[in-house]
């Protein structure tokens, strides 16, 4: 371990998570883009709607049914409640995406498709209730030594899964170097079954990472002192049934821990305040079985990777850079995100052009005045009238806005369907 738990408590941004590990394993250059250079990348509608599906289900699971409800009536009433939650959350997601300068593409998703995912998730939860009423394990069918539930409502309450309620439920292992959060944990059978919810059919390249993701949860259970989980499941809500996965052995968990330590050693420099060595994150995209690369890319991962726009192994058309000595920013906006300096909210945005990728950090108000003019992910912009600042120790020039700073929208964000990983994978398989 390169650092202590106390150090990670003071530097929480350095902690690993499954998403960080997965990014590195797709391609080290993608990891460098996001977690070494701290560039920003777009968000797409499927990400917001996936959260809406999950929240609609969790709100429904948390409800208390009538004491005399039957199982059929419960299924109907809970279904109506879940869909009502989802419709409201779907509408909110649409508004949020369209207002978010980091949102890429139109919000053109099928509400009916995702409503079907909500119904499927509820159906699988109702199966848990039915199993509790029968005092049978929902996966093995084995009889369980449990008291008989006095009512359907009591069985519903007994099987109610734990679920995360936001960042407050983000767990950090005692060593401080890894953090994570589960979607659902069913424990009514006597053990802990960890469930990851996926608002998809499970056919995209990202779905191939599920075994690794669930193994990270099993490792985290051990690190938190809870032992091995009873089961690991993925609920791909566009599929026919929950998928179960083998709980990894102790040796496999040890190897996972070793993988984390190797990445930490690359990511955290020995000297305090130093930057990680960029040469430790050269482009090396992983191959993907059954997913052929597109457009001459070395890997199918490249079509999703924001680092691809300045990658020497990938051919992408990007805007021309302005003259070296001009106080101008010009390029395509890859992403816009928040950056806090204490209590002060700032915006960090990332541009790419023929000279490469760079990020700038401005006060929220300074950047927000350009949003109505079309500054958002996917747009190509030219910002003139900036004040340059050259760090005394060298490095790239930073630019800051002034009263006379103006933005020219060279091209709007792409007016094409936003990339849906499931749709892309299904059309190419």
Q: Which residue do the tokens 């039957």 mark?
A: 70
Give the Cα separation of 35 and 16 in Å (integer): 10
Among the ranges given (191-200, 376-385, 420-429), the one the predictor scored with the smallest mean pLDDT: 420-429
The pLDDT value given to residue 422: 59
Give the Cα separation of 26 and 209 in Å (integer): 10
Residues in CB range of 185: below 8 A, 6 or more apart: 161, 162, 163, 192, 193, 194, 195
Give the Cα separation of 111 and 96 in Å (integer): 16
- Can you give the residue range of the structural domain that contains 99? 42-148
How many other C-beta atoms are found inside a 10 Å radius of the C-beta of residue 260? Answer: 20
Same domain for 20 and 169: yes
The pLDDT value given to residue 269: 86
The pLDDT value given to residue 341: 62
The pLDDT value given to residue 314: 95
CATH classification at residue 339: 2.40.50.140
Same domain for 348 and 290: no
Same domain for 105 and 209: no
- Give the predicted TM-score (pTM) of the model: 0.93
Write the CA distances from 314 to 188, 286, 337, 393, 425, integer angstroms.
50, 14, 25, 32, 20
Same domain for 89 and 70: yes
Same domain for 350 and 295: no
Among the ranges given (8-17, 61-70, 416-425), the one the predictor scored with the smallest mean pLDDT: 416-425
The pLDDT value given to residue 164: 86
Give the Cα separation of 73 and 308 in Å (integer): 52
In the chain, the percentage of residues whose pLDDT exceeds 70 is: 94
Give the Cα separation of 79 and 144 in Å (integer): 28
The pLDDT value given to residue 255: 98
Q: Which of 57, 44, 58, 59 is nearest to 93 (CA)?
A: 44
pLDDT in tens, 311-344: 999 999 999 998 877 889 999 999 999 886 666 7
Same domain for 112 and 132: yes
pLDDT band at 393 (very low <50, low <70, confident <90, very high): confident
In a domain, 215, yes or no: yes
Same domain for 259 and 233: yes
pLDDT averaged over every residue in the chain: 92
The DSSP annotation for 138-194 comes to TTT--B---PPPSSHHHHHHHHPPEE--SGGG-EE-TTSSBEE--SEEE-TTSS-EE
The pLDDT value given to residue 418: 45
Last residue of a domain, which of 98, 119, 148?
A: 148
Among the ranges given (51-60, 137-146, 186-195, 391-400), the one the predictor scored with the smallest mean pLDDT: 391-400
pLDDT in tens, 215-242: 999 999 999 999 999 999 999 999 999 9
Cβ pair 202, 238 in contact under 8 A: yes
Average pLDDT over residues 3-27: 95
State the pairing for strand pair 179-180/171-172: antiparallel
Helix, coil or strand: residue 352: strand
Average pLDDT over residues 17-22: 97
In a domain, 13, yes or no: yes
Same domain for 337 and 391: yes
Last residue of a domain, which of 127, 148, 169?
A: 148
In a domain, 316, yes or no: no
- Residue 262: pLDDT above 90? yes
The residue that leads in pLDDT, 271 or 136, is: 136
In a domain, 201, yes or no: yes
The pLDDT value given to residue 202: 94
In a domain, 321, yes or no: no
- Residue 384: pLDDT above 60? yes
**In which element (H, E) is residue 88 found?**
helix 71-99
- Residue 427: pLDDT above 60? no
The pLDDT value given to residue 256: 98
In a domain, 319, yes or no: no
The residue that leads in pLDDT, 107 or 325, is: 107
Write the CA distances from 171 to 181, 247, 272, integer angstroms.
6, 20, 26
- Residue 376: pLDDT above 60? yes
Q: Which of 87, 55, 61 is nearest to 74 (CA)?
A: 61
Q: Which of 346, 408, 338, 349 is nearest to 373 (CA)?
A: 408
- Residue 429: pLDDT above 50? no
Same domain for 405 and 256: no
Q: How many separate domains does the chain show?
A: 3
Burial bucket for residue 281 (CB in 10 Å: 0-12, 13-18, 19+): buried
Same domain for 405 and 368: yes
Last residue of a domain, which of 148, 174, 205?
A: 148
State the pairing for strand pair 356-363/344-353: antiparallel
pLDDT band at 424 (very low <50, low <70, confident <90, very high): very low
Same domain for 355 and 300: no
In a domain, 313, yes or no: no
In a domain, 26, yes or no: yes
Same domain for 168 and 298: yes
Give the Cα separation of 42 and 105 in Å (integer): 10
- Residue 305: pLDDT above 60? yes
pLDDT in tens, 118-145: 999 999 999 999 999 999 999 999 999 9
The pLDDT value given to residue 61: 98
């Amino acid at each position: 371990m390169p650092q202590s738990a106390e150090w990670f408590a003071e530097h929480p941004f350095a902690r690993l998570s499954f998403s960080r590990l997965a990014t590195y394993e797709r391609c080290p250059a993608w990891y460098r883009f996001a977690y070494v250079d701290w560039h920003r990348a777009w968000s797409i509608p499927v990400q917001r709607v996936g959260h809406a599906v999950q929240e609609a289900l969790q709100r429904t699971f948390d409800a208390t049914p009538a004491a005399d409800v039957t199982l059929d009536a419960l299924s109907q009433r809970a279904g109506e409640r879940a869909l009502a939650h989802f419709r409201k959350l779907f509408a909110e997601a649409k508004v949020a995406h369209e207002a978010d300068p980091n949102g890429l593409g139109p919000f053109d998703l099928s509400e009916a498709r995702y409503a079907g995912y909500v119904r499927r998730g509820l159906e699988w939860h109702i199966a848990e209730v039915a199993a509790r009423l029968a005092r049978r394990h929902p996966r093995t069918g084995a009889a369980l030594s449990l008291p008989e539930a006095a009512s359907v409502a009591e069985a519903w309450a007994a099987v109610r899964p734990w679920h995360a309620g936001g960042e407050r439920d983000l767990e950090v292992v005692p060593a401080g170097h890894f953090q994570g959060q589960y979607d659902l944990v069913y424990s009514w059978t006597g053990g802990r079954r960890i469930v990851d919810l996926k608002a998809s059919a499970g056919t995209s390249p990202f779905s191939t990472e599920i075994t690794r993701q669930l193994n990270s949860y099993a490792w985290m259970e051990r690190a938190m002192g809870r032992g091995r989980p009873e089961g690991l499941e993925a609920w791909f809500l566009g599929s026919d049934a929950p998928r179960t996965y083998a709980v990894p052995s102790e040796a496999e968990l040890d190897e996972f821990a070793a993988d984390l330590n190797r990445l930490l050693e690359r990511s955290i420099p020995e000297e305090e305040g130093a930057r990680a060595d960029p040469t430790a994150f050269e482009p090396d995209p992983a191959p993907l079985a059954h997913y052929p690369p597109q457009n001459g890319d070395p890997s199918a991962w490249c079509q999703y990777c924001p680092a691809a726009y300045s990658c020497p192994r990938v051919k992408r058309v990007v805007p021309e850079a302005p003259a070296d000595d001009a106080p101008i920013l010009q390029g395509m906006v890859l992403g816009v995100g928040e950056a806090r300096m204490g209590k002060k909210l700032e915006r960090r945005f990332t541009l790419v052009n023929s000279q490469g990728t760079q990020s700038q950090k401005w006060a929220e108000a300074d950047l927000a005045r350009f949003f109505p003019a079309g500054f958002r992910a996917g747009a190509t912009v030219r910002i003139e009238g900036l004040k340059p600042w050259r760090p005394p120790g060298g490095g790239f020039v930073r630019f800051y806005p002034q009263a006379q700073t103006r933005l020219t929208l060279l091209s709007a964000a792409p007016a094409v369907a936003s990339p849906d990983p499931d749709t892309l994978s299904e059309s190419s398989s």
